[in-house]
Structure 1
């Protein structure tokens, strides 16, 4: 039944008039990119979010997905069938288990990267050097120097790199920024709170087991430390280990910090401090913090992050969110809604999430699809395509993604070192802290070589 739906939907798209498609995107809009000459596209990482990103691109642009890459043959074959059903040509992409071979053999316009965090830098830089523009998921890196190298590569080879921090393309948050922040309704802004209270920290104790035939675990691990195999790591189990990422701060704070920075036009924090650890959930293998606070300091403004992967949220209406406090009111925002509450006179203003289920009915049967995020990702893809066409910077340019990612990485380093850190992007050092500076670059497992901004 699902196969027939996809085939019918594909035929419908072929014959649909532009007026039936959403046109409220950017300067050119979906009609323009639906009629362009097809761009040759590849995806590295065919799991949940990489595949979802690819489907959103297919929805808004005339693309030909010519290649897919994954170290999991099951993921790869499953996504290949879905792509053949989704894209206009009906063709099945060529399949690869090594992204280097794919980039060498394919002439690509766009590469999407949806792999675990520890792979983002190497794959992004390789795709840029192969001549492609890149859409890379957040956080962009697992250490600060990786991020610096990614920015350097994008600039050196003049490629557009869009980061998957799509809150900047979220309709109700765009409206809240324009109508509340930009309009001055908050007054003097003096404090920001950000949080995540989701119980999303995997905390199991699975036994070691044989590596399945369909998975190249050596290649999956790549430059990261090689852990004993205890289950399919790329089904979110990897997120609970700092060998592959930066915990809840790297995964969830990066979104909210990036959103606040965009709304308030903030750059690098002046100083970053953080405290936390594993305070409650001590029984499992997970080594990421279950409780953590971080402070990102700006002039006359502190942006404070808090997460707990246990207990109840401080505000059940906003369990993963930001709150911007001004002397005239407060703006709360999440992926689902936003609310402005004035201090004193005035009426509260509410903003609701936009769904596009009627325009894109295939959203309803996409496995694990985040319906609330789908409109934002589609707009993010259009912004990406416009930047490619105009040779301009996208809204979530790699430099902005680097600042948000590196700030979260530095928060974890501050927690580890038990002291505040001041990062100087001009010298790529932590000011007056040689020990912290050495930790800006992780050791890579051989034979992989760590990228550096001076020699990309």
Structure 2
């Protein structure tokens, strides 16, 4: 039985299988190459890097040939886990420097699960090395990095899929087709998005010696070299603007990208944002704990709000988006969605997240797995492979990921400058604002060189 039919049979057991499969047909799932084993490498073997890799192993015949991480302990542990999960039972080759991994191995696919400040250089180097890339969101820490990533993907004719897997989330695919596209909302003229998770790491750990198992200089790479104050893995690095773009870059991009996909929106015509550190002032964290942003489109505002303190405005939807139409409202999150019609006699619609615990029992023993996201990531991987086979664009193509990422990054620029910004993607500048335009590219730490979209 070929790969597509195996996964078709599995997914038919899910609650929204028929809809999802019809959608995948549009993505080209019917042309999956039979009998091919994909040679795969992973850069960044932390929690989510491994999670992405294990979802790929579950849905496609792969041979993980190489792993890379600057933390030797994490790398060795990942090598053992991969040997237990992949069919061959082999332990991949292990590397501390991704450049050496790319130069010494011929790979079909490279997955990138490193912190945000590494995404651009590693994606560009991987496509130059001949690999297709699956890169986590946000794709970049500055706008020009994203422009260079899109340019590189197009120049080297490689598929780059972004880990915005909400586009492959079964209950959201269902909501798009049967609620949004079916016109149940009527004219959609306002969107609200939010995150109220208390996820902003904060504290004052003491500066300490770098452990011998961590190459902290290489971990830092092109970013500013902060004094070492403990392992940066998981949440600690995200609390600093040196490596990412705060809750806006981490969480808004998911919701904004999903809204753009559902409503077929391109670049916002104007972006404005306000916020700062209003409550959690005790620790080292320098990202905002409170922030609002408006992404403006003709006769439509997409409004974002996050707080890393207090309570959510709707406890059932603490990280979510809401589409307001003149015929009804759609609340949606990674866990569920609810359609509420304006007509009192209209039918309410509720959809829950799809789990696949029985089909993939190994999910239940995987450390830190997001069970609600696993089915979406598996389908996202299948879409990625189908795009490679068809030489086409995946549902979360790098250009779409760039628009969503860059818009969030420019919201932070607006917050810092205290004024709206208007981006011209053709000229790659913020219109009439030299100061803001200069902020589209961060200064890299020597000897790393910022990628130029004109010279990739």
Tell me the TM-score range normalised by the shorter chain: over 0.9
Q: Which residue matches 2:277?
A: 278
Structure 1 position 22 matched with structure 2 position 11 = yes
Q: 1:34-183 counterparts in 2 under 5 A?
A: 35-183=34-182
Q: Is the 8 A contact 1:18 1:31 kept in 2?
A: no
Is this contact kept in 2: 1:35–1:62, CA < 8 A?
A: no
Corresponding position of 1:383 = 383
Q: CA deviation at 1:37?
A: 1.6
1:41-440 superposed matches below 5 A: 41-344=40-343, 345-440=345-440
Q: List 4+ stretches of structure 1 deviating above 3 A.
A: 16-25, 27-35
Deviates more, 1:119-128 or 1:74-83: 74-83
Q: Distance in 2 between matches of 1:436 and 1:101?
A: 36
What is the RMSD of the two structures over their aligned residues, measured on CA atoms?
1.6
In the alignment, the residues of structure 2 paired with residue 31 and residue 296 of structure 1 have an alpha-carbon distance, to the nearest angstrom, of 37
Structure 2 contact 335–372 (Cα < 8 Å) conserved: yes
Distance in structure 1 (CA, Å) of the matches to 2:176 and 2:28: 21
> Does the 8 Å CA contact 2:40/2:63 hold for their aligned counterparts?
yes
Using the alignment, how far apart are the partners of 1:87 and 1:403 within structure 2? 35
Q: Is residue 31–residue 390 contact of structure 2 (8 Å, CA) maintained in 1?
A: no
Q: Deviations over 1:364-407 (max 9, x none)?
A: 11110000000000000000000000000000000000000000
Distance in 2, matches of 1:18 and 1:138, equals 26
CA distance in 1, matches of 2:53, 2:81: 11
- 8 Å contact kept, 2:29–2:383: no
Q: Distance in 1 between matches of 2:7 and 2:338?
A: 34
* CA pair 18-150 structure 1, distance change in 2 beyond 3 A: closer
How far did residue 22 of structure 1 move?
3.4
CA distance 1:94–1:30, shift in 2 (3 Å)? farther
Query: 1:164, CA displacement in angstroms?
Result: 0.1
2:28, 2:387 within 8 Å by CA — same for their partners in 1?
no
Deviations 1:175-228 (A, max 9, x none): 000111000000111100000000000011110111011100000000000000
Alpha carbons 2:28, 2:390 under 8 Å: kept: no
Counterpart contact for 2:31–2:386, Cα < 8 Å: no
Moved more, 282-291 or 231-240: 231-240
**Contact 1:21-1:30 at 8 Å conserved across structures:** no
**Secondary structure of residue in 2 paired with 1:91:** coil
The aligned residue for residue 449 of structure 1 is: 449
Residue 33 of structure 1 deviates from its aligned partner by 5.4
Listed one character per residue, the Cα deviations across residues 94-129 of structure 1 (whole Å, up to 9, x for unaligned) are 000000000000001000000000000000000000
Quote the Cα distance in structure 2 between the aligned partners of 1:317 and 1:235: 25
User: 1:17–1:198: structure 2 CA closer, same or farther, 3 Å change rule?
Assistant: closer
Q: Distance in 2 between matches of 1:34 and 1:387?
A: 11
Three-state SS of the structure 2 residue aligned to 1:314 is coil
Distance in 1 (CA, whole Å) between partners of 2:55 and 2:315 is 30
Q: Tell me the SS of whatever aligns to 1:168.
A: helix
Taking the aligned partners of 1:382 and 1:36, their CA distance within structure 2 comes to: 15
Give the Cα separation in 2 of the matches to 1:149 and 1:452. Answer: 6
TM-score in terms of structure 1 length: 0.95
Alpha-carbon offset, residue 347 of structure 1 = 1.4
* Number of positions where the alignment pairs a residue of Structure 1 with one of Structure 2: 442
Secondary structure at the residue paired with 1:235?
A: coil
User: Are 2:330 and 2:337, in contact at CA under 8 Å, matched by a contact in 1?
Assistant: yes
Return the TM-score normalized by structure 2. Answer: 0.95
- Give CA-to-partner distance per residue, 1:277-296, whole Å, 9 cap, x none: 00000000000000000000
For structure 2, list consecutive stretches of 5 or more residues without a partner in the other structure: none
